[in-house]
């Protein structure tokens, strides 16, 4: 088992000024699951795209099964036995499973013979690796877990011996992720080599044999998984010690600051996305809403912050009603002490083409302290921005820099600084750390706890279950538009995972 | 029998005017199914009509005319392809440009070469396409109803007409039963999937626009060398846009395209027939109303009756590899 399936020597790649991969060396043993971790932008995806022939390295060599191989395009990668499951599935959504699997390897000009052969081969693969999918199902009608299975089948159908998976669990429920890991074990048992790219340390520990860590375009270490720890890997990823556990004292909930009663929200297609949802937020507590993306969390957030009109429901902010079914508007709510950090900061939280200082007052620009009569008081705005930059450690510390030039984590800090510094009574936060690097996550989590301790009511919506569990004082689980349960954050991940997957009677199912 | 004969006449003229629509709409189908929106159908058809008329009269051969029409149309299609595939330009702008170039260039070149006010010389025998009679058309003509349908409605069209109708099932077959068709549909929906499957997105899309060019060329040749005998300036008169509307109306499906084009053709034939003739019960209808009917129908149908016409998902978007 000590043969190498893949060896990379001195891979170097630049995109203009960005040095994405710096002299990367990597050796992957045959028949193992090899993890590659690193923060966003560490160069993992670039490296894998080079291996799959999507880009060409500026210099360096690739050896597959000990033979030097020039990978010019995905075709040569496929021919060399390399298959890839992309983070964003490369599937034609209105095609059937069969058509997607065949695409590119149809055998002949006319499809009829190829279809029969593909059907047979697909059946064999399904059987061999326990990857059941209906070959005639339309992709867009399948749940994401199954769509991913189709991607894996696609690679196997092309005879892949080496399988690259790029952030495969981002879209899956914990149960689906576990299923995926079982499939990977199965593939490994059949002698396939698997490269798993992720930024989730837990997954690395759970399923890999070896793990390589990337940081800022460099390969900084390779470890045997059994001999390393989450703490060590986190430190290698970030380059300094990181506090993974969030330190927080017990909550001391006070009066109810925000309440939602029987809220129903419909999306633009006319489908009820939020169904009869009720909950309360008290001063000094963090309530987390867990759930797989797309189960109504976004619509809920939009309705209670005045962005989307609700069909029914009663919402009270500090005892005063919010007209969620009528003329509630975000600007008015902000004045009344409801701050909102939207899920998608690049589209709803920031104007990327604006200066940092302009974004740091966006939505509060009517405040007389930023104004000089009818004109903006640029000097005051910049001074105010500079103060926030210092307090929130936003880098680079330049209020005149275009917002697009900040990293994801720093962009998020700009939004947080803007909303938190208004000293709101209620803070609604969607996906606080999506696309944010580990170092910034630590900082953001600390600030959220500080807000709680200052007596604010915080609603936290996140698809990261770990985040929900470590920050929240109470956890609500949302599935198919409903709150299907309330649990304490100490509840086991398995039970929460089942709730998130819509299994109502959790205790029964767990047995 | 009088009404029946009138109906046959109208239907025959429906077929006649539908042919360029079907050819152009199928041309658009190949291009748009591959993700390249093409509002330059009109321009390509016009340029092809001119090239066909001009080449046929100079060379004295209809086939040379057809070849020239296809060649010119394919060249324009490649220009559109270069702008929108290689240069990743805006497909609408490129299409509009082609329409304007065709509109201007045909008149200028026509005047410079033939000095007949932008027309090409009248095409004589052998320089244009002639109609063909189906076997036994004359013998069967006397059989009531069926005979009349056979010899007056189905027989006596141009070869290009039969070709256009044959291209409908052929296109369906290509699209759904061949490797090229599978890839063509895939590239219009998700070029990323095609690229990662190891297929060249660029070459595939170029082949699609070439198919589009060929069919537009045939449509143009039909206009100037079959339906009439010579090119007249602006003779496409919006047929390219009607074809585009038919394509959307048909939700980018070949058989639907044929029926949509026949419907628009029928309305066109009616508007010709109705000129000066009062409609029963309604009385005289201004001819402009009848001429506007296909367009109004498109708007009304698209607005509500056919449901949402979902274009190929990657349509209009140049393919750039993700970083």
- Structural domain contains residue A204: yes
Task: Provide the pLDDT for residue A3.
Answer: 85
Which of chain A's residues have a Cβ under 8 Å away from the Cβ of B189? 92-95
Are residues A322 and A204 located together in one domain of the fold? no
Look at residue A394 and tell me if it is in a domain: no
Q: What is the CATH number of the domain that holds A107?
A: 3.40.50.300
Q: Which pLDDT does position A27 carry in this prediction?
A: 94
Residue B316 lies in a domain: no
Nearest CB to A109 within list B178, B196, B199: B178
DSSP state of B12: H
Residue A137 lies in a domain: yes
Average pLDDT over every residue of B1-15: 84
pLDDT at residue A464 in the model? 83
- Complete DSSP assignment for B116-171: STTPPPPP-TTTS--EEPPTTHHHHTTSTTHHHIIIIIISSEEHHHHHHHHHHHHH
Q: In what helix (H) or strand (E) does residue A76 lie, and over which residues does it extend?
A: helix A74-79
Is B5 a member of any domain? no
A92·B186 Cβ contact <8 A: yes
B63-98 exposure pattern, b = at least 16 Cβ within 10 A, e = fewer:
ebbbbbbbbbbbbbbbbbbebbbeeeeebeebbebb
Please indicate, yes or no, if residue A329 is contained in any of the structural domains: yes
User: What residues in B contact A54, CB-CB < 8 Å?
Assistant: 195-196, 321
pLDDT tens for chain A, residues 1 to 511: 468 999 999 999 988 777 889 999 999 999 999 999 987 778 888 899 999 998 899 999 999 999 999 998 888 999 999 999 988 889 999 999 999 999 999 888 999 888 999 999 999 998 888 888 899 999 988 888 889 999 999 999 999 999 999 988 877 777 788 889 999 999 999 999 999 998 788 888 889 999 999 988 899 999 999 999 888 888 888 777 766 667 788 888 999 999 999 999 998 778 889 999 999 999 999 999 998 877 899 999 999 999 899 999 999 999 999 998 888 788 889 889 999 999 988 888 999 889 999 999 998 988 899 999 889 999 999 999 999 999 998 888 899 999 988 877 889 999 999 999 999 999 999 999 887 877 788 889 999 999 999 999 999 999 888 889 999 999 999 988 999 999 999 888 888 888 888 776 555 444 4
- Give DSSP secondary structure letters for B91-102: HHHHHHHHHHHH
Residue A303 shares a structural domain with residue A436: yes
At B88-142, the pLDDT tens digits run 999 999 999 999 999 999 999 999 999 998 899 999 888 899 888 888 888 888 8
| Domain annotation covers residue A230 | yes
Same domain, A293 and A165: no
Q: Are residues A139 and A229 in the same domain?
A: yes
User: Which of A92, A104, A182, A171 is closest to A138 using CA atoms?
Assistant: A92
* ipTM value: 0.86
**Cβ contacts of A230 within 8 Å, gap of 6 or more:** A201, A202, A205, A244
Which domain CATH number covers B70?
A: 1.10.3470
Task: Count A/B contacts: CB-CB distance under 8 Å.
Answer: 74
B196–A86 C-beta distance less than 8 A: yes
Place of tokens 């058809």: B45
Closest CA to B39 of B85, B95, B1, B94: B95
To the nearest whole percent, how much of chain B has pLDDT over 70? 94
Domain presence at residue A375: no
Q: For residue A148, is it within any domain? A: yes
3-state secondary structure B58-93: HHCCHHHHHHHHHHHHHHHHHHHHHHHHHCCCCHHH
Query: Which residues of chain A make contact with B182, given a CB cutoff of 8 A?
Result: 99, 102-103, 106, 111
Same-domain status, A230 and A313:
no
Q: Tokens 């066109």 label which residue? A: B268
What is the residue range of A134's domain?
4-238
Q: Tell me what the pLDDT averaged over chain B comes to.
A: 90
Look up tokens 């005998």; give the residue. B229
Asked whether residue A260 falls in the same domain as residue A186, the answer is no
Residues A172 and A285 in one domain: no
Q: How many CB atoms neighbour CB A234 within 10 A?
A: 20
- Residue A109 DSSP class: S
Chain A residues whose beta carbon lies within 8 Å of the beta carbon of residue B320: none
Please say which residue of A207, A238, A269 terminates a domain: A238
Is omega for the bond preceding A194 within 30 degrees of 0, making it cis? Answer: no
SS3 A11: strand
A88, A90, A110: residue with CB nearest B178: A110
pLDDT for A504 equals 65
Which among A178, A204, A238 is the end of a domain? A238
Judged by CB atoms closer than 8 Å, whether chains meet at A103 and B183 is answered as yes
How many Cα atoms sit within 13 Å of A138 on the Cβ side?
5
Strand ordering across the sheet containing A4-15: A18-29, A4-15, A59-64, A67-68
A28: left (phi over 0), alpha (psi -120 to 50) or beta: beta
Q: What is the mean predicted confidence (pLDDT) over B168-179?
A: 96
Per-residue pLDDT of B184-234, as tens digits, reads: 999 999 999 999 998 999 999 999 999 999 999 999 999 999 999 999 999
Are A151 and A284 members of one domain?
A: no
CA gap B212, B77 in Å, rounded: 7
Residues A13 and A104 in one domain: yes
pLDDT of A234 = 83
**Residue A316: enclosing H or E segment and its boundaries?**
strand A312-317
Q: What is the rounded CA–CA span in Å between residue B119 and residue B121?
A: 6
Assess whether A294 and A203 both reside in one domain: no
Q: Which two tokens stand for residue B247?
A: 């394509």
Q: Please count the structural domains in chain B.
A: 1
User: Does residue B319 lie in a domain region?
Assistant: no
Question: Does B194 map to a domain?
Answer: yes
Q: Is residue B176 part of a domain?
A: yes
The predicted pLDDT at position A509 comes to 45
Instruction: Beginning with the edge strand found earlier in the chain, give each strand of the sheet holding A33-37 in spatial order.
Output: A82-85, A162-166, A193-198, A33-37, A210-215, A218-224
Per CB-CB distance under 8 Å, the chain B contacts of A111 are 177-179, 182
- Where in the sequence is the domain holding B42, given as residue range(s)? 12-305
* Other beta carbons within 10 Å of B304: 9
Interface of A with B (CB under 8 A): 15, 46, 52, 54-55, 73-75, 77-78, 84, 86, 88, 90-95, 99-100, 102-106, 108-112, 114, 154
Quick one: A63 and A211 in the same domain? yes
Considering its fold, how many domains does chain A have in total? Answer: 2
- Shortest CA gap B316–chain A (Å): 17
Residue B190's CB: how many other CB atoms inside 10 A?
26
pTM of the full structure? 0.78
> What is the residue-wise DSSP string for A174-224?
HHHHHHHHHHHHHHHHTT-EEEEEES-HHHHHHH-SEEEEEETTEEEEEEE
In 3D, which of A211, A197, A139 has the Cα closest to residue A168?
Answer: A197
> Same domain for A216 and A276?
no
Map residue A25 onto helix, strand or coil: strand
For residue B178, which residues of chain A lie inside 8 Å, CB to CB?
A: 109-111
Q: CA B51 to CA B198: how far, in whole Å?
A: 39
Residue A441: HSE in the Cβ half-sphere, 13 Å Cα cutoff: 25
Domain contains B4: no
Residue B253 lies in a domain: yes
Tell whether the model's pLDDT for residue B323 goes beyond 70: no
Single residue among A238, A270, A290 that ends a domain in this structure: A238
Query: Does the residue B116 lie in any domain?
Result: yes
Measured in residues, chain A has a length of: 511
SS3 B259: helix
């Amino acid at each position: 088992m000590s043969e190498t399936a893949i060896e990379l020597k001195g891979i170097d790649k630049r995109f203009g000024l960005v040095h994405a991969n710096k002299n990367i060396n990597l050796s992957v043993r045959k028949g193992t699951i090899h993890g590659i971790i690193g923060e966003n932008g560490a160069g993992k995806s670039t490296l894998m795209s080079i291996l799959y022939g999507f880009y060409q390295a500026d210099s360096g060599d690739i050896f597959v099964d000990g033979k030097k191989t020039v990978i010019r395009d995905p075709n040569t990668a496929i021919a060399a036995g390399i298959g890839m499951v992309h983070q964003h599935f490369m599937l034609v959504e209105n095609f059937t499973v069969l058509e997607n699997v065949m695409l590119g390897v149809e055998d002949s000009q006319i499809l009829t013979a190829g279809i029969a052969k593909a059907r047979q081969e697909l059946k064999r693969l399904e059987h061999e690796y326990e990857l059941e999918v209906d070959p005639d199902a339309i992709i867009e009608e399948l749940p994401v877990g199954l769509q991913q299975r189709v991607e894996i089948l696609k690679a196997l159908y092309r005879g892949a011996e080496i399988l690259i998976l790029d952030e495969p669990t981002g879209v899956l429920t914990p149960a689906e992720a576990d299923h995926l890991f079982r499939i990977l074990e199965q593939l490994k048992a059949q002698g396939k080599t698997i490269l798993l790219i992720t930024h989730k340390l837990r997954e690395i520990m759970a399923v890999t044999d070896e793990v390589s860590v990337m940081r800022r375009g460099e390969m900084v270490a390779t470890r045997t998984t059994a001999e390393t720890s989450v703490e060590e890997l986190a430190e290698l990823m970030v380059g300094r010690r990181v506090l993974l556990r969030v330190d927080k004292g017990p909550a001391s909930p006070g009066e109810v600051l925000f309440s939602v009663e029987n809220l129903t929200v419909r999306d633009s297609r006319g489908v009820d996305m939020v169904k009869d949802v009720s909950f309360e937020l008290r001063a000094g507590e963090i309530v987390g809403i867990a759930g797989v993306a797309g189960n109504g969390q976004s619509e809920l957030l939009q309705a209670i912050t005045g962005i989307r009109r609700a069909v029914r429901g009663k919402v009270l902010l500090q005892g005063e009603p919010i007209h969620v079914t009528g003329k509630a508007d975000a600007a008015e709510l902000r004045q009344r002490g409801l701050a909102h950090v939207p899920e998608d900061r690049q589209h709803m939280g920031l104007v990327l083409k604006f200066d940092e200082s302009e974004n740091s007052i966006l939505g509060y620009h009517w405040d007389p302290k930023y104004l000089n009569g009818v004109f903006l008081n640029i000097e005051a705005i910049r001074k105010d921005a500079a103060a926030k930059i210092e307090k929130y450690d936003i880098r680079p510390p330049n209020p005149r820099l275009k917002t697009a030039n900040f990293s994801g984590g720093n962009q998020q800090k700009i939004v947080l600084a803007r909303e938190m510094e208004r000293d709101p009574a209620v803070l609604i936060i969607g996906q606080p750390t999506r696309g944010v690097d580990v170092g910034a996550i630590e900082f953001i989590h600390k600030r959220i706890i500080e807000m709680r301790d200052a007596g604010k009511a915080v609603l936290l919506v996140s698809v990261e279950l770990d985040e929900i569990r470590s920050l929240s004082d109470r956890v609500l689980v949302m599935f198919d538009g409903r709150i299907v349960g309330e649990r304490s954050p100490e509840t086991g991940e398995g039970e929460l995972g089942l709730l998130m997957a819509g299994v109502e009677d959790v205790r029964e199912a767990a047995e | 029998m009088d009404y029946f004969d009138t109906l046959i006449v109208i239907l025959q003229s429906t077929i006649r005017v539908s042919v360029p629509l079907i050819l152009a709409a199928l041309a658009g189908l190949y291009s748009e199914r591959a993700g390249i929106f093409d509002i330059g159908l009109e321009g390509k058809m016009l340029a092809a009509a001119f090239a066909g008329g001009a080449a046929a009269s100079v060379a004295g051969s209809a086939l040379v005319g057809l070849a020239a029409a296809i060649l010119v149309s394919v060249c324009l299609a490649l220009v559109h392809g270069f702008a929108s595939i290689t240069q990743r330009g805006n497909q609408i702008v490129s299409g509009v440009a082609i329409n304007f170039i065709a509109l201007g260039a045909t008149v200028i070149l026509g005047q410079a070469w033939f000095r007949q006010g932008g027309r090409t010389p009248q095409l004589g025998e052998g320089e244009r396409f002639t109609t063909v009679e189906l076997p036994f058309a004359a013998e069967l003509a006397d059989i009531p109803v069926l005979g009349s349908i056979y010899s007056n409605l189905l027989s006596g069209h141009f070869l290009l007409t039969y070709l256009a109708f044959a291209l409908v099932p052929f296109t369906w077959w290509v699209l759904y039963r061949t490797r090229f068709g599978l890839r063509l549909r895939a590239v219009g929906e998700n070029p990323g999937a095609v690229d990662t499957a190891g297929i060249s997105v660029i070459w595939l899309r170029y082949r699609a626009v070439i198919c589009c060019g060929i069919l537009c060329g045939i449509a143009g040749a039909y206009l100037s060398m079959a339906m009439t005998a010579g090119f007249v300036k602006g003779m496409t008169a919006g047929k390219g846009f009607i074809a585009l509307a038919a394509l959307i109306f048909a939700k980018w499906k070949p058989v639907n395209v044929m029926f949509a084009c026949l419907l628009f053709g029928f309305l066109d034939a009616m508007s010709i027939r109705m000129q000066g003739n009062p409609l029963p019960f309604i009385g005289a209808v201004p001819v402009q109303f009848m001429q506007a009917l296909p367009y109004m129908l498109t708007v009304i149908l698209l607005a509500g009756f056919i449901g949402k016409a979902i274009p190929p998902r990657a349509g209009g978007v140049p393919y750039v590899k993700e970083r």
